[in-house]
Structure 1
Amino acid sequence: MKLITIHSEYIKLDTFLKLADCVSTGGMAKALLQEGMVKVNGESEERRGRKLYPGDQVEVEDCGSFQVAAQ
């Protein structure tokens, strides 16, 4: 599992996916989410604006597993 460090209280899921190098654009993030390829804390997630906080875990098919970490 790879740690992704954020410098604020939370990060939105679409921004997180770009930071984790799983997608390069917001449109790609939207498509990935609509296809059900993203899980947050073990549950499928489709909302691009979902707020992620330190300790949350994100699994992305064909990209890997990540954990949000505070700076």
Structure 2
Amino acid sequence: MKNEVFIDTPYITLGQLLKEESVVSTGGQAKWYLREHVVNVNSEPDDRRGRKLYPGDTVDVPDVGLFFIRSKQGE
């Protein structure tokens, strides 16, 4: 499933995205989730919950969805 995630800050972290999209409910769960599951950021595997995501980035969470980071102010 494709989802657009609109942010009003310069970036969002991967852990914050997982919490905002209800993949996990806490930062601790995000850390565990990223160790146990392959998550691709811009088609590259990434397991850092502090990874900064900027408008234009894509995050593919298998069995959950594909997320497109967008700016509320417009890119």
Question: What CA distance in whole angstroms lies between the structure 1 residues aligned with 2:38 and 2:29?
Answer: 12
Alpha carbon RMSD of aligned pairs, Å? 1.0
Equivalent residue pairs, number: 71
Q: Which residue of 2 aligns with 1:40?
A: 41
Q: In the alignment, what sits opposite 1:62?
A: 63
1:36 and 1:45 in contact (8 A); partners too: no
2:12 corresponds to 1:11: yes
| Aligned-pair CA distance for 1:43 | 0.7
What residue identity is the alignment partner of 2:6? T
1:22 and 1:36 map into 2 onto residues whose CA distance is 12
Larger Rg: 2
Kindly indicate whether the alpha-carbon contact (under 8 Å) linking 1:33 and 1:48 is maintained by their aligned counterparts in 2.
Answer: yes
Partner deviation per Cα, 1:46-65 (whole Å, 9 max, x = no partner)? 11110000010001122111
Distance in 1 of aligned mates of 2:35 and 2:22? 18
Query: What amino acid does structure 1 have at the position aligned with 2:26?
Result: T
| Superposition misfits of 4+ residues, deviation over 3 angstroms | none
Tell me the percent identity: 48
**Which 5+ residue runs of structure 1 have no aligned equivalent?**
none
The one-letter code matched in structure 1 to 2:32 is A
